[in-house]
Structure 1
Amino acid sequence: MSASSRSLEEKVTVKTLIWVAILSAVLTFISTMWHAFLPFIARCNFTGLGVICSEPAEMVGMPFVLLMLLFPFALKSSWFREKLGVDKLTYIYVVAFTVAGFSNVLMPWCNFPYYACSRGNTATTNPLWKAKIPEFVAVPPEVADATLLGGVTEIPWGVWLAPMLWFFILISSFGIISLAVTNILRKSWIDIERVPFPHTLLAYESLIQVQGGDRAKAKLKPFLLGILVGIIVSIPLGAIMFLPWFPDVYAWRTATCGPGAQQITSDSPLYSQPIALHFTKHPIAYVIAYMLPLDVLFSTWLFTLIYVIIVYVAFYSGYYTALPTTGSCGRIWCGGISPLYAPPLRLRLISGGGILGLILMTLFLERKHILQTLRAAFGRMSPDEKAAIEKDEPLSYKSSWIMLIIGFIVLWGLLVGTGFDIAQGFAMVLLSTILWIGQTRLFGLTGVHIESSGAVQWITRAIWYPEMPYPGEPPTSLVLGSVMWSAQSNRHPLDGWGWSMWSSFSAYQMGRLTGVHAKNVFKVVLIALLVAQFVSLPTVIVGLSYYGMSRLHGASSLWASNLEWWASTGWFVVASGPPAEWIGHIIVGAIALAAMTYIHARVLWFPHPLGPILAWSMSFPLFGWWLSFLVAWVLKMLTLRIGGSRAYEEIGVPFAGGVLGGYAIVNFVFALIGVVRFFVPF
């Protein structure tokens, strides 16, 4: 038995956990400051260590970059491969994936100042709202204002301590909840269902090559070819950031939104048509889509076609008449004219209802497993039966449920202690938890998430805030809660909450692929989570104080500290008008998802229920990912028809992994150039 094989059967050592903690801290500090010095143009797709393919995938580069940096050394040295071992490679992936979610532009550079700087003179302007922000949540106005320009020679750590600890508890308690939920659902999702988690599958191809062996040799040629293609397709995107003369191969400089979607220009023949749709040009969108099941790909582009048709029908019936004279982005997100937002279609709400249906169906279908874990934890079960059920689990189910309860109580208590009423604090924790279970399920199946869905936000809107803008003096539950409902709960996994669940499930998926025991993975991901969530905060304070937000990300970045603004966004209000006018669309979406799930399970050719969730969300029309799903469906069909599943697994998948590896390395190199240029302008 080789050393690497033996290591899989051993408990992770204290020494290893110490280097996991050190590596997590170092990577968090480097990545957080790295994002401070990146050029603005790199924020969506070319951050190197952070996001390398943004909405709706939020793919991070750090795990791919670290594995690809190890690849040439492992290729040359068998001693190096043996020294690393598959267990350490797994831990490196887990640490890198986890850290990247808490050391990027959104977290902590945006999300921490949302709260900590919200009392500044450059932030919230309404005195009624500002008066509701506790002093332990936000620093005094003069300290907040100093972060705009920087140049602070002595950082007042005593002033920053309370807001930093408050925010750390806000994020880390949800991290504990997420890891506990993952422990409870791990066996069902990872071991039994084999939910794929496409981002992890792609990283696994790089890990295979670093690990070496017969399997790596069999996949090496398509992997290397993929690296070459990844380098070729990514160089034009990186070069145009610094070289004005470089050919704009992707037409990225014109009519392209940040995540890489081609807009409809006024000189296009499509402009005069009632079309509210973009087209993705990002190469990684096609790589991710190629990893997905055919039925998901087919259903998504089919319901995109249905979307186009019903918008045409609505237009010629007298609705959405402003579409042909409105700019490309406005057709999608301007609430008064968009078929996604405005009546009668309100398709975004049907998509959000679909996510609610996905949550409810997931919990319903998992009911036996969940009840079994509760029985093992708190009920009567024989020791032998309990031992058999918990054999491969990271913790006993009792420990996981207690962990979940503690995390829930801590976060709920923090909200109530901050000024939330008891009911709204409870709703915030419960609904956000189940929402991220649904979003993580979607991420595991498709590699993407849906922002601004309103899937659970409509509940708090209907119960507590039926009239918006809020009349009179706002409660703290609204002043601070509107940010949490909008960002942490409803926007990006990188806003502080969702990534905890994404990283936990992704860690266990990589552990299953590499054979590393879940107990060891649990210890590593727990340390990486807590270290990254904490270290990022003093790091961002240093960056803000010394350099200033206006120098790092542009003065406009502090607009989000206007908490009153958050309460006016679609992320919070869900839709314009009284809830009674649009709740029906959400209910229709939930019922449709349940019905489609039932039919699809019995009629295999019936469209996959995730299709309308993706196609009718804001994200897919806006960022154009429907096109990548269509192209990937064609390519995957050809692969399977010509070479069968063997060709897909032995050529297609390693090629896709190589493309991503090559893209990640080039992305990292150009991001590094951007960081250097901050200090040495050229």
Structure 2
Amino acid sequence: MPSQAETFPNHESTRSTLTVRGVVLGVATGVLLNLYSNYAGLIIGGASLVKSQLPMAMLLPFVAWLLINTIVRLIAPRLALSGGELIVIYSLSWIVGTMSASGWLAYWGGIVSSPVYYASAENRWQEVLFDVIPWWCYPTDSREVIVAFYEGLPEGASIPWSGWLSPLYWWFSFSVALVIAGLCLSVIFQRQWEDAERLTFPLSTFAVALTKGFDGKERIPPIFKDRAFQAGFLVVFLVLAWNIGGFFTQELPRITIYDTVESKGLPVGRMFPPVYLRIMPPVIGLTYLCNSDLLLSFWLFRLVAILKEGVMARLGVPIGYSSATNATIGQPKSELIMLESHGAMVFLAVWSVWIARHHLKHVWQVARTGVRGPGDDGVMPYRVALLGFSIVTVYLLGCFMSMGLTPWMAICQLGLIYIAYFTLAKFTAATGFAYLFPVAEKGGNVVLALGGTRGMSAREIVGMGTINSYAFFGRARIPAWPALPHYLQLFGTDRRRYWTPWSAILVFSATFMGSCLLIICLGYEHAGQNLGLSGFVKANRETYHRMVSAVIDTDRAGFNPGKTMVWLAGVGGAWLLMVLYNRIPWWPLHPLGLAFQDSNGSEYYAFSMLLTWVAKGLIMRIGGIGMFNRARPFFFGLVVGYVAGIGTGTLVDLLFFPDGGHRIHGW
């Protein structure tokens, strides 16, 4: 159970104010950061700005706004933004921060445009797939539209926008429906998460701590003058600045303490995954407010996963049947660990609903009777939230069936998507760990591993492949869902709180359309085959190769009892851990660590969370809760120092090395 010292609420009680200026600047920032990230990734070749649920693509402009606003307060205080307006910018840019480049939309552009252009007799796409691909959500099949997109427009020709109207409409409708579903679920569970479960919302606390000083009389916010904040900032920024100096001369030895995982792997043994000694300042700084038991569970279960995976690889443990069709969506690193983790994640979702049963009963009563209490007056009425969630769910089920899924498979697929995104949204709010990624992404790997494709038609396999492709709402970095509970937590009691859902939908819609139009323009102007990133280089063709392999396989797998037992073991293990965690006061391990034991986030950053866990333990033991609060600016300074260093390096590359930049941020 959590220690007594950590049962206090960490999130700030001060609420911010929504203004027209804040919303306009937030939407503009969200759109512009995506346009830049897409251009940088596809043309310049930089793809590292979108690596987490709180990506560098939105932290860079947020820190830039803090700097600009501080300067404005010194020169013309009346023109400066308030702390609330800065938080609006932070929230709205976060909602769309993972959409650009390798986060999502570069994959969309490459995958939906590939079938016609890359089809050949050798890959058999036309023979196997063309009769069952849902062409109604793909660009028009014509030389004018597709060939010109990949080879560039002929001189004097104009972009054939009419060929893209149908995919733009349908993919936008799928995506905005998922955002509305996430928004409605956040509204339904918000009071449960804030008041009953008392989630700490570290990523909200971080933004409030950096912006609340802009509402005072001092020209420079107090946190920027805090010695602890300055120390944290300099510990990181000076190292990155030194390495940036090395761009100009090789005589400066590189300081590698914050280098990426490629150079941080520590071999454990033959056939064992390495232990990554990666020190990531944003992970350390933002998980400082995470419960120590959760931090312990993250790094400890990662070590156990390394041992399990290595032992199974050494012993050659076979479980269940194998078939090439299991690679339809993409083969995970370790299928058995993935299945165990997914079972644990599903348990966490079911458990989250179960412990909220009394709140959900209250939500239903309020929605049915229309009688609302003081705590029910959120950003939208519960009746609207339930109705909205139901409508978009029915719509998405209809779209899935139109893509080829049977009603049962459509329900299963959408349910798995909801489970993954719901769990991710809740536990991002609980931990502040922005590298929390959904196990098995949209769930297609789990369906294929457990049920196989023996009973699936070609149309259903292709429909599953389309939905589980990176074109559909991205990869593991999820747009909007992780940000929405924080947005509601920050503005849920604001007097203009009813602007909150509309502003979220507005920024998502504007960013989606702006980014897609830019990607289409870049394809016709620079030739799509020349665009960088995996969406146009690798993932686009692999998506359809996997579909073909699954359809033509003559030895398809059916129901797999062995792998089903592994999945159920994950459910049972998570249940046992949760019972122990809630019944035994001294028991420290939470099933969250089991659920995400093999995700990239835990794999790469378990060491960073170990450092945070040790630091928190020492601080609490030496100085108690008072020292814990006094040390908080230091950890936030680590984050800002890292972002400032990455921003400085990016600016130096743009000014001095426009044709050959340096990798300054990655895993």
Sort the TM-score into its range (normalised by shorter chain).
0.7 to 0.9
CA distance in 2, matches of 1:656, 1:9: 23
Identify the match of residue 370 of structure 1 among 360, 366, 369.
Answer: 360
CA distance in 2, matches of 1:279, 1:157: 49
CA distance in 2, matches of 1:478, 1:161: 26
CA distance in 2, matches of 1:670, 1:634: 31
Q: How does 1:242-261 map to 2 (within 5 A)?
A: 247-250=253-256, 257=261
Report the TM-score, using the length of structure 1 for normalisation. 0.79
CA distance in 1, matches of 2:405, 2:173: 16
- Give deviations 1:282-332, integer Å, cap 9, x for gaps: 34333334332111122223333434555676678x4479xxxxxxxxxxx
- Give deviations 1:433-460, integer Å, cap 9, x for gaps: 2221112223222323234437954664
CA distance in 2, matches of 1:62, 1:115: 26
How many residues are treated as equivalent by the alignment?
620
Paired letter, 1:138: Y
Identify the match of residue 120 of structure 1 among 117, 120, 123.
Answer: 117
CA distance in 2, matches of 1:510, 1:286: 23
Check if 1:80 corresponds to 2:70: no
How much has 1:18 moved relative to structure 2? Answer: 5.2
Paired letter, 1:65: P
What's the counterpart of residue 382 of structure 2? 397
CA distance in 2, matches of 1:171, 1:597: 34
What's the counterpart of residue 340 of structure 2? 350
What's the counterpart of residue 135 of structure 1? 135
Task: Confirm or deny: 8 A CA contact 1:356 1:455 kept in the other structure.
Answer: no
Aligned pair in 2 of structure 1 residues 35, 505: CA closer, same or farther (>3 Å)?
farther
Report the 3-state secondary structure (helix = DSSP H, G, I; strand = E; otherwise coil) of the residue aligned with 2:206: helix
Task: Confirm or deny: 8 A CA contact 2:286 2:636 kept in the other structure.
Answer: no
What's the counterpart of residue 660 of structure 1? 639
CA distance in 2, matches of 1:246, 1:80: 41
Paired letter, 2:197: E
Check if 1:169 corresponds to 2:159: no
What's the counterpart of residue 278 of structure 2? 280
Q: How does 1:368-447 map to 2 (within 5 A)?
A: 368-378=358-368, 380=369, 383=371, 386-391=372-377, 393-446=378-431, 447=433
How much has 1:395 moved relative to structure 2? Answer: 0.7
Report the 3-state secondary structure (helix = DSSP H, G, I; strand = E; otherwise coil) of the residue aligned with 1:564: helix
What's the counterpart of residue 61 of structure 2? 65
CA distance in 1, matches of 2:583, 2:472: 34
CA distance in 2, matches of 1:162, 1:184: 33
How much has 1:107 moved relative to structure 2? Answer: 2.1
CA distance in 1, matches of 2:188, 2:447: 27
Check if 1:262 corresponds to 2:243: no
What's the counterpart of residue 144 of structure 1? 146
Check if 1:453 corresponds to 2:449: no
- Mean alpha-carbon deviation: is it higher for 630-639 or for 25-34? 25-34
CA distance in 1, matches of 2:124, 2:286: 43
- Give deviations 1:320-367, integer Å, cap 9, x for gaps: 79xxxxxxxxxxx997xx7x43xxxx3332111110111110111112
How much has 1:174 moved relative to structure 2? Answer: 0.7
CA distance in 1, matches of 2:132, 2:313: 45
Task: Confirm or deny: 8 A CA contact 2:294 2:589 kept in the other structure.
Answer: yes
What's the counterpart of residue 325 of structure 1? none
CA distance in 2, matches of 1:540, 1:180: 30
Paired letter, 1:295: D
What's the counterpart of residue 229 of structure 1? 235
Check if 1:474 corresponds to 2:458: yes
How large is the RMSD of aligned CA atoms in angstroms?
3.9
Task: Confirm or deny: 8 A CA contact 1:352 1:613 kept in the other structure.
Answer: no
CA distance in 2, matches of 1:220, 1:15: 28
What's the counterpart of residue 184 of structure 1? 188
Paired letter, 1:402: L
- Give deviations 1:567-609, integer Å, cap 9, x for gaps: 5999xx9x99853221111111112212211221222321332
How much has 1:515 moved relative to structure 2? Answer: 6.3
- Mean alpha-carbon deviation: is it higher for 558-567 or for 625-634? 558-567
> Which sections of structure 2, spanning at least 5 residues, go unmatched?
1-13, 319-329, 662-667
Paired letter, 1:538: L
CA distance in 1, matches of 2:66, 2:516: 29
CA distance in 1, matches of 2:649, 2:361: 50
Task: Confirm or deny: 8 A CA contact 2:420 2:441 kept in the other structure.
Answer: no
Check if 1:609 corresponds to 2:607: no
- Give deviations 1:504-554, integer Å, cap 9, x for gaps: 112123336x96764343332222122222222112111222123444316
Percent sequence identity over aligned pairs: 16
CA distance in 1, matches of 2:148, 2:224: 54
- Give deviations 1:592-651, integer Å, cap 9, x for gaps: 212211221222321332354256324256x43221121111111122222222222232
Task: Confirm or deny: 8 A CA contact 1:129 1:479 kept in the other structure.
Answer: yes
Check if 1:639 corresponds to 2:619: yes
Task: Confirm or deny: 8 A CA contact 1:75 1:210 kept in the other structure.
Answer: no
CA distance in 2, matches of 1:248, 1:437: 41
Task: Confirm or deny: 8 A CA contact 2:202 2:430 kept in the other structure.
Answer: yes
How much has 1:81 moved relative to structure 2? Answer: 7.3
Q: How does 1:319-334 map to 2 (within 5 A)?
A: 319=316
CA distance in 1, matches of 2:174, 2:274: 38
- Mean alpha-carbon deviation: is it higher for 282-291 or for 365-374? 282-291
